[in-house]
Chains A and B, each alone.
Chain A
Amino acid sequence: MSRVLRYVAAAAIGLFVASLILSLQGYSAGAFLEVLRMATIGSPYAFLDVLRWTTPLLLSGLAFLIAARVGYFNLGVEGQIYVGSLFSALISHLLPLPPVLAILAGIVAGIAGGVLWALPCAWLAKRWGVNEVVTTLMLNYVAVLLCTFFVKQFFLAKVAGGGTIQTITTDKIEANAELPVFTPFSGLNLGLLLALIVAAVAAFVLMRTRTGYELSAVGEGPRFSQFSGIPVHKRRFQAFLVSGAVAGLAGAIETQGVLHSFIAGSLDNMGFNGMLVSLVAMNNPIGLAASAFFFGILQNSQLVISQATTVSSYLVTVVSALFILAFAANPTRFLVDTWRARRER
């Protein structure tokens, strides 16, 4: 009951602010609801686009969640996705392979990229106790800059006619490495299936297996874990790297499924939104897919807003952040608690 109240209160606050901003711009009070409607069932392909966005959000949410289960805040999912995406694109250029193998190679490369980018933070946290919040955030900036540098320096797409281009992008990957799309009208691709399988496996492992038991124990009771003979630091380190791997997979699927190249700037906020996805699911793997779907709708609304209104599509960013603020602060619990305390006194 209180859980439902928590979601409703958070949604109400987000909706209120969005409607407020829109109405200040002269739109009707219900404009944001209309945006949400258009983004989900407004056109035959809108729903597919929601699912297209759900795919990376589910994975980046899972990446954040796995680290959070052992008590780490992996705020570097953003950068890990970047590197994963670039690696996936590069392997296709450097190593042309037959159909299925090319897809696999891209995915493996993406995962490797994510792990590589998580590795320094994981090692610093495990071996030296360096706060992972700051290191992961710092490496996000480095990831964006380095990826841009590498592409500009070595892999910049050739423009027909030799003109200059605005976007930093690699050439298109080999067709063999592309994940098949379901329809030509939406970016929705086989990656969704892949993401769902990965999320289901992760949920099973986290909830039902010894590994999941140990990860929860490590996250919630490090001293209990040590007492139980669980290698605390090792499990944490492993979870951090797996978190990076999942983020890298998200990057690979973006490259191979939708973008078909590495494009700087096109992955912005994907990692941060993953954190929101995981938080709304309350770090519970079961609720993750629903949460990713919810944020998929918001993500798709961005497009609708920028097409149908003069308001900045950042409005959706504001709404999701406010939603999280209200959700994490849980104002309803506060009200219930103070009311209860007053009665006790």
Chain B
Amino acid sequence: MNGEFASIGALLLFVVVAGFQSATPIMFAATGGSFSAQVNVFNVALEALLLGSAFAAFLVADATTSVWLGLLAAMLTGTLLAALFAFLTVTLGANEIVIGFAMNIAVVGLTAVLLTTIFDSPGSYLSATAGKFPMLYSDIGWLAVLAVALVLLGHLHTFHTRAGLRMRAIGQDPAAALAAGLRVNSYKYRAVLMSGLLCGIGGAVLPLSGLQLFSVGMTAGIGFIAIAAVILADGRPLLAGAAALFFGFTSAIGIALQTYGFPNELVLSLPYVATVVALFVKAYVTRRRAAAAKAAQRERGQARILVNA
């Protein structure tokens, strides 16, 4: 970007467009991650799911020149990787953090190896054939609309469906859910696979909008940022989506600041710092609220004696 913006309006427009652009994959991943969080699976593999499906989308779109086939491949890859994560953690009972993180390393390595093998390019490859997803306005794709819609659907699924109720019950108290006759592991699988599917879409956005480029480790931690969004929202899709938007806009503001001469590196670290700060604020607010609730409960405790009498 060269020079400053012509007007405040142009600046705002830029921030909105860039904000949605960077928030879109995070929203997909955060909504998907919410489902995992609901069944109390700490899905550290989100980053791996995004990167793996990004590569699949890029590869297939480049070969077939169809972004839609690319999207399909990405969704498939995301789901398959999620299935692997679910098998290792839910069925085999391995540690979620270890598996999620090792999967992340494995996918970084594997995509790099394949990039070299297939495109003969060690670091990154610009595709001339891949094409890009249709745009709604400027750099905001229709997939951003889909992301928002899926956030809303995720909310409905969580609070207005049988499966949503069951998944929340399993996450909050697996023993109680088991006692109620629920098949705990099958719902855990279902939730993790849903994460994989959504991360698949989110991953496809990365190389197939803007530049048709895949580079090694191109997710750059947005999967982890999505995890932070999920933690901030306690697994509620609406809040997780909002948090994802917030992180997206943070990075957009950063890019805008760059045009005013702020150093590149400082600006790029904004979303990461914002994540840590947001987690702190959430912990602070939660603790304050718990203390207040405790005080209120003591007040109610007085009344409870009267009820018993």
Q: In the assembly, what is the distance between CA of A324 and CA of B227, in Å? A: 22
B110 contacts chain A at the CB level, 8 A cutoff: yes
Q: In the assembly, what is the distance between CA of A315 and CA of B116, in Å? A: 10
B297 contacts chain A at the CB level, 8 A cutoff: no
Q: Which residue of B lies closest to A123 (CB)?
A: B280
**A145 with B268: CB separation less than 8 A:** yes
Interface size in chain B (residues, C-beta < 8 A): 47
A204 to chain B, nearest CB (A): 27
**A329 with B109: CB separation less than 8 A:** no
B160 contacts chain A at the CB level, 8 A cutoff: no
B92 contacts chain A at the CB level, 8 A cutoff: yes
Interface string of B263-287 (1 = CB under 8 A from A): 1111011001101100110011001
List chain A residues, Cβ under 8 A from B113.
21, 311-312, 314-315, 318
List chain B residues, Cβ under 8 A from A331.
92
B144 contacts chain A at the CB level, 8 A cutoff: no
List chain A residues, Cβ under 8 A from B269.
141-142, 145-146
Q: Which residue of A lies closest to B216 (CB)?
A: A314
B108 contacts chain A at the CB level, 8 A cutoff: yes
A330 contacts chain B at the CB level, 8 A cutoff: yes
A-B contact count (CB 8 A): 138
Main secondary structure of the interface of B (DSSP, over half): helix
A194 contacts chain B at the CB level, 8 A cutoff: no
Q: In the assembly, what is the distance between CA of A149 and CA of B42, in Å? A: 33
Interface string of A115-137 (1 = CB under 8 A from B): 00000100010001111011101
**B116 with A321: CB separation less than 8 A:** no
Near B by CB (< 8 A), chain A positions 327-341 give 328-331, 334
Q: Which of B88, B105, B266, B276 contacts A135 (CB 8 A)?
A: B276
B45 to chain A, nearest CB (A): 11
Known A-B contacts A148-B265, A329-B88; the reply to A124 vs B280 at CB < 8 A is yes
B308 contacts chain A at the CB level, 8 A cutoff: no
B106 contacts chain A at the CB level, 8 A cutoff: yes
**A138 with B109: CB separation less than 8 A:** no
B94 contacts chain A at the CB level, 8 A cutoff: yes
> Which residues in A have some Cβ–Cβ distance to B below 8 Å?
21, 24-25, 73, 75, 120, 124, 128-131, 133-135, 137-142, 145-146, 148-149, 152-153, 269, 272, 275-276, 279, 310-312, 314-318, 320-322, 324-325, 328-331, 334
A-B pairs with beta carbons under 8 Å apart, 24 shown: A124-B276, A128-B284, A133-B227, A138-B221, A138-B276, A145-B265, A148-B265, A149-B266, A269-B105, A311-B113, A315-B109, A315-B113, A317-B106, A317-B109, A321-B102, A321-B105, A321-B109, A324-B105, A325-B99, A325-B102, A328-B94, A329-B88, A329-B99, A334-B92
The 8 A-B pairs of least Cβ separation, nearest first, read A317-B109, A321-B106, A149-B265, A314-B112, A312-B116, A318-B109, A128-B283, A321-B105
